[in-house]
Amino acid sequence: MTRMVDSDAAQVALVLGGDRDAFRVLVERHSRKLFRLAYRMTGNEQDAEEIVQDAFVRAYRKLDRFESRANFSTWLYRICANCALDRMRKQKTEDSHREHEREYEEGATGPLAVAASEAPAPDRLVMSEQLGAGVRTAMAELSATERAAFVMRHVDGFSIEEIAKSLELSIGATKNSVFRAVQKLRRQLEPLVSAAR
Amino acid sequence: MNHPDEQQLIEYASGDATAASTVREMEQHLAECAVCRESVEGVKRVVAAASAVEIPEPDAAYESRMWHRVAAEIEPRRAGFGWREWFSGRRLAAVGAMAAMVIAAFLAGRYSPRPETATPTVAATPQVRERILLVAVGDHLDRAQSILLEISNAEPASGAAAKTVDISREQKRAEELLGANRLYRQTAQKTGDATVADVLGELEPLLVELANGPSAVPASEIETLRKRIEARGLLLKVRVVSSNVHEREKTTVKGSNNL
């Protein structure tokens, strides 16, 4: 672990010295981890790849602000989370109109509600697939900040303080974002989770 | 303790209840209340389900593809504004390589056959050649001195938000001087004029950095540069050598007039 961190710092120093190709090592080393974060936040492969690309480009341009004593991986993760947030907020604005139209056409029942109404299915596999679809739908209905806070807290295990710093929120606002995310997920998913047991 | 509200339940289940007293009270309550115990377990199950979403694994070419996408959007970095790297081994090596090319080009031009009719008789005399060179080097040093002075006295524009200094004019002039600086330095080395060669050699990394650096730099970088110029006595050296060159220029003019 220490070797990896040292090695990241060495690559950063090379890049700062003008060796652009040294950045390739960092991209290849960290892009898969960033993809998982971006995918969890967006639920879409293409978006996730674009977010990872944006994150690396942003990191490269801000590299002289990276403090060598810090952990490069964590620094990169934060940049990626913010790139994902930016993109989700932008998409949310663009999609909101289309979404209202879709909800109206479905008679105020989203796919999750349809899935829940069809439960309980006898087959556990079917339930598992329904649960997976339910999770994706429920996650998609969280706000960008709630989703980022939830993923960072409950998937990647960051502390509330670390999330607050990364997302530039107060401790209280961060705690509230995590709480609201779990609250919304609970309302959507509890029937499915109970049925899947 | 009464039944906790939803926020207390969720924060406790998420491990985000911070006050020790709240945690203690929750634990006491949960030990007695099956309904709240089940609620906490329900929250944990939901969190576990939402966290366990299957992530598609990118294909084997993903890392390489990502690098090519990133590489298409980034430019090679310069090492900051570069003042710290004036005399780094890497930079000197690069300057050396460029200088070698210039010397090769210079010597190739100097020793390649020329049409016999092309050279006027007067221009071929050593005194006239030296005078032309001294005039050119003197003018070059004056212009370099002017750049050093302007950089040393540069201030951020009033109201500049980020306290940056616009050095675009100096940058353009450094670009113009750079090629000539290399040529004069090599010529001075070749003719054994060590003083001129040395001062031009000290100027060169500065001109390279100025010509290739950003046109707006933080005031702090300018301050660093100013200290470097002072520490090396560069402005004084350029001034003294320039003055000597102008004196020699006059002497050469007198000498050639006496021919």
CATH number, domain containing residue A119 = 1.10.10.10
Distance CA B163, CA A195 (A): 62
Model confidence at A153: pLDDT above 60: yes
Residues A42 and A86 both lie in one domain? yes
Residues A37 and A121 both lie in one domain? no
Which tens digits make up the pLDDT trace of B39-86?
A: 999 999 999 988 887 889 999 999 999 999 999 999 876 654 444 444
* Secondary structure class of B4 (helix, strand, coil): coil
Which tens digits make up the pLDDT trace of A4-63?
A: 444 788 888 888 888 888 999 999 999 999 999 999 988 889 999 999 999 999 999 999
Distance CA B200, CA B185 (A): 6
A62 close to B (CB below 8 A): no
A161, part of any domain: yes
A65, part of any domain: yes
A167 close to B (CB below 8 A): no
Distance CA A63, CA A61 (A): 6
Residues A63 and A150 both lie in one domain? no
Residues A168 and A91 both lie in one domain? no
Which tens digits make up the pLDDT trace of A162-191?
A: 899 888 889 989 999 999 999 999 998 888
Distance CA B144, CA B83 (A): 17
Q: Could you list the mean pLDDT of each consecutive 10-residue stretch along chain B, which spans 259 residues?
A: 83 79 84 90 90 87 94 75 44 49 50 46 57 80 85 69 74 82 79 85 82 77 82 84 82 61
Residue of B9, B11, B53 to mutate, interface with A, max A Cβ within 10 Å: B53
Domain boundary residue among A34, A62, A95? A95
Residues A86 and A113 both lie in one domain? no
CA distance B239 to chain A (A): 33
Total structural domains within chain A:
2
pLDDT at A110: 38
Residues A48 and A123 both lie in one domain? no
| Residues of B with Cβ-Cβ distance to A16 under 8 angstroms | 77, 79-80
A46, part of any domain: yes
pLDDT at B9: 87
Residues A119 and A154 both lie in one domain? yes
A179 and B7: CB-CB below 8 Å?
yes
- DSSP state letter for A156: S
Q: What is the CATH number of the domain that holds A65?
A: 1.10.1740.10
Tokens of A33: 């981890």
Domain range enclosing A146: 109-197
Residues A151 and A69 both lie in one domain? no
Domain boundary residue among A54, A73, A95? A95
Domain range summary for chain B, segments of one domain joined by +: 6-51, 83-111+122-257
A101, part of any domain: no
Residues A125 and A172 both lie in one domain? yes
Q: pTM to 2 decimals?
A: 0.52
- Residue ranges of A 122-141 with Cβ closer than 8 A to chain B: 131-132, 135-136, 138-139
B14 and A154: CB-CB below 8 Å?
yes
Residues A60 and A6 both lie in one domain? yes
Residues A88 and A116 both lie in one domain? no
**Cβ–Cβ < 8 Å for A40, A85:** no
Domain boundary residue among A30, A65, A95? A95
A164, part of any domain: yes
Residues A39 and A85 both lie in one domain? yes
Model confidence at A197: pLDDT above 70: no
